Chain A
Amino acid sequence: DAKTTQPNSMESNEEEPVHLPCNHSTISGTDYIHWYRQLPSQGPEYVIHGLTSNVNNRMASLAIAEDRKSSTLILHRATLRDAAVYYCILRPYSGGGADGLTFGKGTHLIIQP
């Protein structure tokens, strides 16, 4: 499976935008880019996903580089409730089935009040 690289941790201030980077230089043409987050003592929660175009939803925006070798998750106005571990995951469609998500270590996002 193609690998992703994320910073171990990032810190931001409340009510400011947060840009979480992810590098995936070995991405293939059929890999979807998924983002999940895990709040303390909870299971992971879906945030957003995309293939080639930038995506927006009520939680966040996903900006995908033109060559698809990197992406950025954007939280437009961080709150204390956004403090979590954020995972950038590539989900390949191999033709024989995608099966489960493979999680890495993610980025621990700290929000300062």
Chain B
Amino acid sequence: ETGVTQTPRHLVMGMTNKKSLKCEQHLGHNAMYWYKQSAKKPLELMFVYNFKEQTENNSVPSRFSPECPNSSHLFLHLHTLQPEDSALYLCASSQDSSRANEKLFFGSGTQLSVL
């Protein structure tokens, strides 16, 4: 148990659906991250929020829309996805994303399949 909880663990959706991934951290951290891990590819950083402000958007298509209502919760809203968006989506948190010497804590991820 890392203190970072992601729901759901598995999600199957059609290309016309709208769904949301949820991440919650119980560590008192101020930074939260979304990563994407496709099969046989390295993890790709998608978004970073620090103290509820988005500090990084790594050229992610607009069909992925993040939301960070407070420091403990992070959402990834999905709409009109493509089959190539099928991947493991990982959430992470840390004390402050501006510090290079800190640790990230990851959730177990949501395995997304787009049909």
A66 to chain B, nearest CB (A): 20
Could you give, for residues 15-45 of chain A, a 1 whenever the CB lies within 8 Å of some chain B CB and a 0 otherwise?
A: 0000000000000001110001000011111
Question: Complex: how many Å from CA A41 to CA B106?
Answer: 12
B60 at the interface (CB under 8 A from A): no
Question: Complex: how many Å from CA A22 to CA B104?
Answer: 20
Inter-subunit contact B109/A43 (CB<8 Å):
yes
Task: State the total of A-B contacts with C-beta under 8 angstroms.
Answer: 67
| SS of A interface (majority) | loop
Residues in B54-76 with C-beta less than 8 Å from chain A: 55-56
Could you give, for residues 75-109 of chain A, a 1 whenever the CB lies within 8 Å of some chain B CB and a 0 otherwise?
A: 00000000000000001110001111111111000
Inter-subunit contact A99/B108 (CB<8 Å):
no
Q: Which of A45, A98, A104, A106 contacts B98 (CB 8 A)?
A: A98
Inter-subunit contact B101/A103 (CB<8 Å):
no
Q: Which of B35, B100, B108 contacts A42 (CB 8 A)?
A: B108
B2 at the interface (CB under 8 A from A): yes
Question: Complex: how many Å from CA A31 to CA B97?
Answer: 15
A68 at the interface (CB under 8 A from B): no
Inter-subunit contact B106/A44 (CB<8 Å):
yes
B103 at the interface (CB under 8 A from A): yes
B residues less than 8 Å from A51 (CB atoms): 101
Inter-subunit contact B43/A92 (CB<8 Å):
no
A48 to chain B, nearest CB (A): 10
Q: Which of A31, A45, A49, A97 contacts B106 (CB 8 A)?
A: A45
Q: Pick the 3 closest A-B CB pairs, nearest first.
A: A43-B106, A93-B100, A97-B98
